[in-house]
Structure 1
Amino acid sequence: MIVVLLGVLALVIGGCVCVVWAERGGPRWARVVAKVTLVAAEIAGTSTKSRSRSRNNSSGDD
């Protein structure tokens, strides 16, 4: 389990590095990785918001 979490952490950190590098005009592959990272972050943020909304709606004002 710890190995999987460390792998995910390494991917996140690598994605963030590529975002910064792409902003500074890095190579094409870094821009592709940066775009994938930003899309994944947006999807994660959207799913978290929708999950939070559904939890608030089901908390019940009966």
Structure 2
Amino acid sequence: MIKQGAEITIVPSGRLEEMKLSGLAGIRGIIIEDLCYNGRKNKGCMVCLDTPYMGEYTWFIPVESIKIKE
């Protein structure tokens, strides 16, 4: 389970590329909602970015592209 409020960095992944969101790689943000529960087909999190991407701050990021800041 990923904690709400955790700081993350978006890393490249095949899933991110499939979503045509490779430009998000390297951007930092904060988890605002964990969507990795059982039964969900597309696991990931809603993330509020530090800087806007395509004019938006809030994006769904697949779990494969989330690196939690330690």
Q: TM-score range by the shorter chain?
A: under 0.3
Q: Is the radius of gyration larger for structure 1 or structure 2?
A: 1
Give TM-score, length-normalised by structure 1.
0.23
Which structure's residues are more often strand, by fraction?
2
Which structure's residues are more often helix, by fraction?
1
